[in-house]
Amino acid sequence: MSKKIAKNKTVELSNLQKQHQNGEINLYQPIEAYSEKWVHETDDDGNFVKAYPVPGTRKRADLPPIATQWQQDYQNRYCKDKRNGKSSRNR
């Protein structure tokens, strides 16, 4: 499956885009994610021994939808920087 973007150009859809078209995933739905604080234990020499989450610190911190992440990535890569008129791609 491909998507026509110009008169003579077609671009293959990514696997995620194909899954979205088939109704398997929703690219516009926030991604469920959680964050929590961790305790890191080290020995007397400062070498890592173990880590474990602090009880009761887990909270929901959803990520933006995949479509929004793609849009932000495109703007970061290809849109001109409004402050100095230069494309971030040429840096």
pLDDT digits (tens, 9 = 90+) for 31-66: 999 999 999 999 999 999 999 999 999 999 999 999
How far apart are the C-alpha atoms of 91 and 89, rounded to whole Å? 6
DSSP bridge partners of 80: 87
pTM comes to 0.55
| Per-residue model confidence (pLDDT) at position 79 | 83
